[in-house]
């Protein structure tokens, strides 16, 4: 049996907890370091499994990585051999798809297996491949591997969907093209905006940051850059929703409020007192909770990565709540585990469910299917009566640094059991 969490639920949460570096912003910035032979310095890295994996992928190709402090690295990619990349890690990590763009831009060809990641439904890379094709890249498939060749010559791309990683991949690719590249239907979430800031420091000209139309003018040779990664809006949102579900009195620090405006507004509308001051959010106990609908949508909508935490909160709300995640058909798997705990949830289809509440949850042994669903089950365990055991916590460790230690500091009775 692998490591698992043991939670004694129904305990009051009080105190201060803070968000750390943004996981999903770290991936493209680490990938962007491949665009130059000069040294880059990246700070505020979250110490989580997925970041360690990306760094291992870079090192397997020849990157020189030096840790300057607990969360800060210097990285130099002057001698890189893409043929030496560890294929086993690519198969485990969805974020590895972001290496396509910079390696293709630098070497003119790449060969990669299908990236892996969370089991939250079909996550094809069609939007990436279609975007590359529109920029003149030739793509063939050899077994389970993709072969991409071509350096691109600028032009316009219309993405088939608001894909964060496809937008980032094309931004990375366009950064070494000394002509204008226009990306339409671009995603505009925090990861994309953070990558744009880093690329500008490297010498790339970018217009339209924060919009759905990006204009990028790259250079054949880019500079090194120093950058401190923003704090994680999703982690902050998870802690805010944890406090709300537990009717806690918790101050959450390092909150990137600009990227959580709608979730915070919704919480207030639902009846959760939230006091926002600068980059802190204080959650206070609510008296009555009523939720009508939670629908996850691309930014500035409610992030799909917070939908599951909202789903747990909905089990404590009066009446019926519709949960709708149109993005991933596997995102609602965690609701099956909540039903085991005593929730009253009915599935309309893989994307929609009705949660009737309020219901008392009871501790059970649960399985974590994916990163965000696993975090939601921790929240469920914290509000449940009795003991909960959460298995497959490696999925949670992929995105939350020592989450049990941080929750313990605000009163949670959660411990990691090693095997």
Q: What is the pLDDT of residues 232-255, one digit of tens each?
A: 999 999 999 999 999 999 999 999
Please name the residue that has the structure tokens 């360690």.
52
Q: Are residues 128 and 182 in the same domain?
A: yes
Q: Are residues 395 and 336 in the same domain?
A: yes
Three-class HEC string of the chain:
CCCEEEEECCCCCEEEEECCECHHHHHHHHHHHHHCCCCEEEECCCCCHHHHHHHHHHHHCCCEEEECCCCCEEEECCCCCHHHCCHHHHCCCHHHHHHHHHHHHHHCEEEEECCCCCCCCCCCCHHHHHHHHHCCCEEEEECCEEEEECCCCCEEEECCCCCHHHHHHHHHHHCCCCCEEEEECCCCCHHHHHHHHHHHHHCCEEECCCCCEEEEECCCCCCCCEEECCECHHHHHHHHHHHHHCCCEEEEECCCHHHCHHHHHHHHHHCCCEEEECCEEEECCCCCCCCCEEEECCCCCECHHHHHHHHHHHCCCCEEEEEECCCCCCCCHHHHHHHHCCCEEEEEECCEEEEEECCCCECCEEECCCHHHHHHHHHHHHHCECEEEEECCHHHHCCCCCHHHHHHCCCCEEEEECC
Q: What is the reported pLDDT for 92?
A: 74
Q: Are residues 257 and 146 in the same domain?
A: no
Binned at pLDDT 50, 70 and 90, residue 218 comes out as: very high
Q: What is the reported pLDDT for 132?
A: 96
Q: Does the pLDDT value for residue 121 go beyond 50?
A: no
Q: Are residues 173 and 261 in the same domain?
A: no
Binned at pLDDT 50, 70 and 90, residue 112 comes out as: confident
Q: Does the pLDDT value for residue 286 go beyond 60?
A: yes
Predicted confidence (pLDDT) per residue in 329-370, tens digit: 889 999 999 999 999 999 999 999 999 999 999 999 998 889
**HSE toward the beta carbon, residue 50, CA cutoff 13 A:** 30
Q: String of b and e for 356-382 (b: at least 16 CB within 10 Å)?
A: bbbbebbbbebbbbbbbbbbbbbbbbb
Q: Are residues 297 and 371 in the same domain?
A: yes
Q: What is the mean pLDDT of residues 409-414?
A: 98
Q: What is the mean pLDDT of residues 249-270?
A: 98
Q: Does the pLDDT value for residue 141 go beyond 50?
A: yes
Mean pLDDT of the chain: 95
Predicted confidence (pLDDT) per residue in 42-72, tens digit: 999 999 999 999 999 999 999 999 999 999 9
Q: Are residues 16 and 29 in the same domain?
A: no
| Domain extent at residue 29 | 23-228
Structure tokens at 79: 């001698």
Q: What is the reported pLDDT for 122?
A: 47
Q: Are residues 241 and 224 in the same domain?
A: no
Contact predicate 404/393, CB 8 Å: no
Q: What total number of domains does the chain contain? A: 2
Dihedral pair phi/psi, residue 321, rounded to 5° = -125, 130
Q: Does the pLDDT value for residue 291 go beyond 70?
A: yes
Provide the pairing of β-strand 40-43 with 274-277.
Answer: unpaired
Q: What is the reported pLDDT for 330?
A: 85
Q: Are residues 61 and 49 in the same domain?
A: yes
Q: What is the reported pLDDT for 229?
A: 98
Point out the domain boundary residue: 194, 228, 262. 228
Q: Does the pLDDT value for residue 138 go beyond 50?
A: yes
Q: What is the mean pLDDT of residues 398-413?
A: 97
Q: Of the residues 40, 118, 246, 274, which is catalytic?
A: 118
Q: What is the reported pLDDT for 223?
A: 98
Q: Does the pLDDT value for residue 284 go beyond 70?
A: yes
Q: What is the reported pLDDT for 116?
A: 59
Q: Are residues 145 and 10 in the same domain?
A: no
Q: What is the reported pLDDT for 1?
A: 57
Q: What's the whole-model pTM score?
A: 0.95
Q: In degrees, to the nearest 5, what angle opens at C-alpha 416 toward C-alphas 69 and 117?
A: 70
Q: Are residues 281 and 168 in the same domain?
A: no
In the chain, pLDDT over 70 holds for what percent of residues?
Answer: 98
Q: What is the reported pLDDT for 348?
A: 97
Contact predicate 5/378, CB 8 Å: yes
Binned at pLDDT 50, 70 and 90, residue 419 comes out as: confident
Q: Does the pLDDT value for residue 118 go beyond 80?
A: no
Point out the domain boundary residue: 228, 250, 274. 228
Contact predicate 419/395, CB 8 Å: no
Q: Does the pLDDT value for residue 135 go beyond 70?
A: yes
Q: What is the reported pLDDT for 7?
A: 98
Least confident range of 105-109, 163-167, 326-330 = 326-330
Q: Are residues 294 and 394 in the same domain?
A: yes
Catalytic site includes residue 118: yes
Q: Are residues 75 and 51 in the same domain?
A: yes
CATH number at residue 335: 3.65.10.10
Point out the domain boundary residue: 159, 194, 228. 228
Q: Does the pLDDT value for residue 276 go beyond 50?
A: yes
Q: What is the mean pLDDT of residues 104-126?
A: 74
Least confident range of 103-117, 221-235, 315-329, 346-360 = 103-117
């Amino acid at each position: 049996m692998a490591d698992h969490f043991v939670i004694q639920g129904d305990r009051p949460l009080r105190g201060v907890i803070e968000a750390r570096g943004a996981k999903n912003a770290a991936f493209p910035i680490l990938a962007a370091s491949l665009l130059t032979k000069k040294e880059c310095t990246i700070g505020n890295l979250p110490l989580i499994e997925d970041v360690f994996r990306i760094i291992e992928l870079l090192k397997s190709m020849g990157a020189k990585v030096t840790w300057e402090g607990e969360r800060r690295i210097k990285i130099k990619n002057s001698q890189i051999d893409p043929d030496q990349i560890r294929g086993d890690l690519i198969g485990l990590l969805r974020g590895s798809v972001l290496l396509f763009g910079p390696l293709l831009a630098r070497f003119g060809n790449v060969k990669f297996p299908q990236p892996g990641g969370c089991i939250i439904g079909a996550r094809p890379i069609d939007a990436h491949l279609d975007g590359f094709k529109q920029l003149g890249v030739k793509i063939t498939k050899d077994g389970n591997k993709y072969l991409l060749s071509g350096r691109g010559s600028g032009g316009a791309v219309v993405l088939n969907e608001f894909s964060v990683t496809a937008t980032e991949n094309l931004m990375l690719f366009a950064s070494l093209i000394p002509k204008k590249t226009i990306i339409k239907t671009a995603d505009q979430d925090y990861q994309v905006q953070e990558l744009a800031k880093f690329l500008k420091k490297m010498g790339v000209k970018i217009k339209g940051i924060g919009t759905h139309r990006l204009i990028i003018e790259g250079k054949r040779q880019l500079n090194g850059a120093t950058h401190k990664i923003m704090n994680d809006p999703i982690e902050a949102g998870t802690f805010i929703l944890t406090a709300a579900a537990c009717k806690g009195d918790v101050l959450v620090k390092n909150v990137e409020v600009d990227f959580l405006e709608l979730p915070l507004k919704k919480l207030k509308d639902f009846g959760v007192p939230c006091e926002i001051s600068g980059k802190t959010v204080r959650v206070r106990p609510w008296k009555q909770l009523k939720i009508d609908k939670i629908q996850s949508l691309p930014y500035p909508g409610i992030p799909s990565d917070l939908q599951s935490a909202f789903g747990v909160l909905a089990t404590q709300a009066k009446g019926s709540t519709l949960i709708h995640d149109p993005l991933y058909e596997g995102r609602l798997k965690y609701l099956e585990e909540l039903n085991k705990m005593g929730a009253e949830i009915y599935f309309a289809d893989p994307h929609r469910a009705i949660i009737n509440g309020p219901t008392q949850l009871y501790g059970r042994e649960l399985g974590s299917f994916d990163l965000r669903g696993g975090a939601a089950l921790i929240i469920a365990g914290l509000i449940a009566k009795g003991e909960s055991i959460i298995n497959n916590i490696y999925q949670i460790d992929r995105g939350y640094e020592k989450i049990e230690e941080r929750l313990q500091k605000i009163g949670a009775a959660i411990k990691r059991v090693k095997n």
